[in-house]
Amino acid sequence: MLDSLIEEHRGCTEPRLRRLWDYYRNPARSSIDGKVGVLAQEAGLPQRLTKAKAVGGLGVEAEREVVIENDIAWRMHTQVDFMFGKPLSIQSIAKDPARAKKIQRFLRRVIKANGGERFFQDLGLLGSVYGFVDVLVRVTDTHKTPLSDGVSDADRLVLETIEAPRAIPLLSQQDYRRLDAYALHFCRRTSQVEQNHFLTRVRNRVLGGSGRRQRSVVEHTQVWTGQMIQSFVGQPGTFGGGRKLVEQEVNRLGRIPVVHIQNLSQPFFYEGLSEVEPLIPLQDELNTRLSDRANRVTFQSFKMYLGKGIEHFTDRPVGPGQMWATDNPDASITEFGGDGNNPSEEAHINEIREAMDKASAVSPLATGLLRARVGNLTSQNALRIVLMGLLAKVEKKRLTYGDGIERICELLLHAADVYGLFPNSPEERGVRLDWAEPLPDTDSELLRNALLKLEAGVPRHQVLTELGYADQAGV
């Protein structure tokens, strides 16, 4: 079963997920000589732009100019900025106030040890790209004696953000939202060098390999079930890979320590909706039209001259102060070329950008590019109306990510109780999330809102926490 899951993941799921990351990151693949090679998004361009063509016996035509403008990455970053650009406050809802403060300090220390706000930003970015993100809870130094205060052992809890191409979930046949098992599959280079066998040398000579000896690669697979944790090691490239069980232990938590978060809810599927996937065809069309425009400008922006009846016309460059003399009364110099206005081309490119704005709900205005619309943004309410699509999507994503973060906190407290790091009861594991306003507010507006909350009866420590004064609030 494990071999079948890995082969299915390697052949179907992993290439699709890698493509989503490539379109977001758009990395440049370096060539053997160290020069910058082809960008990832060039794979979506038509062959007339990327493939050299033979021209009837005259050799090979040079490749056309290619323009790549990554309009996906800044949209993903903008969504993350609106989601987790400000600190997220986690409040315990335990009935005992003193106990609630101690739980909050414990959770705050665990999250700070695992990156703090960067941990939440990584969740938002990976979820936006892949459509989902998984968080695995590990406990280090399991044989170490816990300290008496409990909070000092928070550093032993590790929150591992799982890259989607490494995750292989085995879903329950009765409920797609439940996991029967969870596997991490990845390759890792070792500190040893591959043996230079005879067949390897023949393959390098036939296929044009470098022939240089490289570090060996080992395939690792870790499997979690509700009862056991197993680790396998094998060789990549073959079915089964000679996979061997190298470590096995009892899962003391009694359940799979994985929290699954969908970016946007997608019913009846384990994966959520990716923000990158609907933008890929629009990004390919935009890069194609930008490349066509660049080639048109290259060929038409320089004026050309046709000289008739003038001797040695090609020996002199065309420029200011140049003169040609001839006795031929029929001689002439004709000017042609130059880049002309092409309104349909510009309109098409602008329509593609607007389509990407609608598909992603992120417009250039969210990054500060106003485009002479300052007069329409005279108040915060006007700005909210202009950014209504982005704000609505942020609120929708806060539901899925908020539920996931609450389950992460519950799992952390459960693991801390099982391993004796921070004893607690199931009734004390509930938390409440206080999200900051995504739009920027001035200090005067924040203080005015805080006073109104105090008058309405909101507890003082909660108001101070929302303002960022957690220490003064005593939590």
Predicted confidence at residue 389, as pLDDT, reads 87
Predicted confidence at residue 406, as pLDDT, reads 96
Answer for the pair 236, 217: CB distance below 8 angstroms, yes or no: yes
CA dihedral 346, 348, 352, 353 (to 10 degrees): 20
N-to-C CA span, the chain:
48
Predicted confidence at residue 54, as pLDDT, reads 45
How would you classify residue 372: left for phi > 0, otherwise alpha for psi between -120 and 50, otherwise beta? left
Q: Which tokens belong to 196?
A: 């230079």
Predicted confidence at residue 439, as pLDDT, reads 75
How many other C-beta atoms lie within 10 A of the C-beta of residue 3? 13
List of E strands, 84-227:
89-92, 132-139, 157-162, 167-171, 179-193, 215-224
Strand order in the sheet with 179-193: 167-171, 179-193, 215-224, 228-234, 244-250
What is the chain's pLDDT, residue by residue, as a tens digit (475 residues)? 888 899 999 899 999 999 999 999 999 876 555 556 788 999 999 988 887 544 444 444 556 788 999 999 999 999 999 999 888 989 999 999 999 999 999 999 999 999 999 999 999 999 999 999 999 999 987 777 666 556 667 888 999 999 999 999 999 988 888 999 999 999 888 777 766 555 556 665 665 555 566 777 888 999 999 999 999 998 776 555 678 899 999 999 999 999 999 999 998 899 999 999 999 999 999 999 999 888 888 777 777 788 888 887 777 777 777 777 888 888 888 877 666 677 888 999 999 999 999 999 998 888 777 665 555 555 666 777 778 889 999 999 999 999 999 999 999 999 999 998 899 999 999 999 989 888 766 666 777 878 888 888 888 877 777 776 765 444 4
Q: Among 103, 89, 85, 84, which Cα is nearest to 462's?
A: 89
Predicted confidence at residue 59, as pLDDT, reads 47
Q: Among 288, 285, 367, which Cα is nearest to 76's?
A: 367
Predicted confidence at residue 148, as pLDDT, reads 57
